[in-house]
Amino acid sequence: MSELRTRMIDDMVLRRFSPRTQQSYVGAVKGLAAFYHTPPDQLDAEQIQAYLLHLTTERNLAWSSLNVAVSGLRFFYHTTLGWDRLELVIPPRKRPSPLPEVLSVEEVERLFEAASCPKHRVLLMTTYATGVRVSEVVRLQASDIHSDRRMVRVENGKGGKDRYTVLSERLLVELRQHFRRVRPLSWLFFGADRTRPLSTSAAQRAFTAAQQRAGLVRGNGIHTLRHCFATHLLEAGVDVKVIQELMGHSSILTTMRYLRVTRKTITATRSPLDLLPKPEDLPDDPSS
């Protein structure tokens, strides 16, 4: 491991960055160095800007991927190397705000029924019933299920925050059956190695396989179930601030975007087409 990489990782560890963030940021700097075949500390701001332009126009990276690269490079040059911030000008990017895709409750049930095995069924059901992220559901342990309090503890979620979310009666029954079937050592959902949690990619594949079997065309990955959790609770009349706490959103504005896709909000509004008089109600044309 190079000295620069070690310094960068140490800087991130001191700031309690998650292992995933550390890996992404190191990868961003590695990609820049590989592009120029030059150590990153020997590049100048103009070269870095040109590389970002390459990622944008030629590689056509998605905004989220580009943002990770920008953040990683900014951290390396500003924090690890101590560059003055005026030396590396990265223009701010406006994040797109696409509406989340949401399944109906009937479609969610079809998804569960189409799971390839009981473990995957419980995995998908847990993701929907608790509203957790995929990185959080695969790291749930038996000790996180507080059956007496009807709560699920989510440790070290996004931003390193702990929180509690709801534990449904139906999910509790499913989890108890799952526990009796597999007898987990620690992780509720493990992979081939029982001592390690299921990978997020394996969880994504479980969702995609069930989605295809169920014949569902909507939904973009297992995160769709988190969108369904928030939207269906809003439609059931749960307060948006409660949903914010359950989902671990730092800003209530993030939670409020689900108001834009709730059936209760949209269907309560009549289309102007329905306000027009029906053809049979129109007076006869005297000229006919």
Residue 227 CA, distance from chain mean position: 9
CB 163 within 8 A of CB 250: no
Q: Specify the 3-state DSSP secondary structure of 252.
A: helix
CB 30 within 8 A of CB 45: no
For the chain, report the end-to-end CA distance as a whole number of angstroms: 89
Q: Identify whether 158 is a catalytic site residue.
A: yes
d(CA 126, CA 172): 9
CB 139 within 8 A of CB 197: yes
What's at 187, amino acid-wise? W
Catalytic residue of the set 158, 163, 205, 257:
158
Catalytic residue of the set 120, 178, 226, 232:
226
| C-alpha angle 20-195-200 in degrees, rounded to nearest 5 | 35
Q: In the chain, what are the helix, strand and coil shares in percent, each to the nearest 5? A: 60, 5, 35
Q: Identify whether 161 is a catalytic site residue.
A: no
The pair of structure tokens assigned to 72 is: 């990683």
Residue 70 CA, distance from chain mean position: 20
Catalytic residue of the set 133, 139, 227, 232:
133
- DSSP assignment of 28-95 equals HHHHHHHHHTS-GGG--HHHHHHHHHHHHHTS---HHHHHHHHHHHHIIIIIIS---GGGS-----PP
Catalytic residue of the set 51, 77, 128, 258:
258
Q: Identify whether 36 is a catalytic site residue.
A: no
Other beta carbons within 10 Å of 152? 27
Q: Identify whether 133 is a catalytic site residue.
A: yes
Catalytic residue of the set 78, 119, 249, 257:
249
The pair of structure tokens assigned to 286 is: 């005297």
Q: Identify whether 226 is a catalytic site residue.
A: yes
Catalytic residue of the set 78, 213, 223, 257:
223
The pair of structure tokens assigned to 3 is: 């000295």
Residues with a catalytic annotation lie at 133, 158, 223, 226, 249, 258
